[in-house]
Amino acid sequence: MARLPYLKRDDLQPAERIVWDDFVKVRGTEPGNIHRLIANAPNLLRRFVDLANELRNGTQLDPRLRELALLTVGRLTGAEYEFVHHWNMALRLGVRREQLQQLAEFETSSAFNDEERAVIRYAAEATSEIKVRDTTFESLRRFLDNRRIMELVMNVAMYNAVARVIVPCQVDLESGVEKN
């Protein structure tokens, strides 16, 4: 059970409800538990959602590579909420189920190509060690330009931050949400 309440729109002050309304308008759905929890600080929710939307919809990074990186973050941090939501998103974006099932064995699994391995390796090192080896970073330069590298870096950093909200606050999966 979450350590802070999951707020509803009506729990917010009238002037703060625009954050909720904008979320619904942009995403086409009601906020999930992570958003409802962060709504305890509505000023932070707005900035959190704006950055998350930009990372999801405003980058040039291949969304499949993004999702492999985010799943790596979720897996390594034990952020089940993040992992399950991004598992389903990854499938919708064309990541193969075999890849999702073999994510922990990415270095040796034939399910991944060199680019996918480089992205997963980056996400794993940045999550587990924070410091990333030169060889890992250089492997990204072989197929990503500076913009896409920064978009990857920011996605991994943001979702490490998300994991550090989900895990300590014990954010629950929404009712009926499970891996497809």
pLDDT digits 0-9 by tens, 63-74? 999 999 999 999
In this structure, the answer to whether residues 33 and 89 fall within a common structural domain is no
Question: Domain span at residue 81?
Answer: 63-169
In this structure, the answer to whether residues 80 and 32 fall within a common structural domain is no
pLDDT digits 0-9 by tens, 33-60? 999 999 999 999 999 999 999 999 999 9
In this structure, the answer to whether residues 52 and 130 fall within a common structural domain is no
Residue 109 — left, alpha, or beta (φ > 0 → left; ψ -120 to 50 → alpha)?
beta
- Does residue 3 sit within a domain? no
For residue 79, give the CATH number of its domain: 1.20.1290.10
In this structure, the answer to whether residues 41 and 110 fall within a common structural domain is no
Q: Largest Cα–Cα distance in the chain?
A: 53
In this structure, the answer to whether residues 79 and 122 fall within a common structural domain is yes
In this structure, the answer to whether residues 43 and 106 fall within a common structural domain is no
Q: How confident is the model at residue 32 (pLDDT cuts 50, 70, 90)?
A: very high
d(CA 152, CA 24): 26
- Does residue 74 sit within a domain? yes
Q: How many domains does the chain have?
A: 2
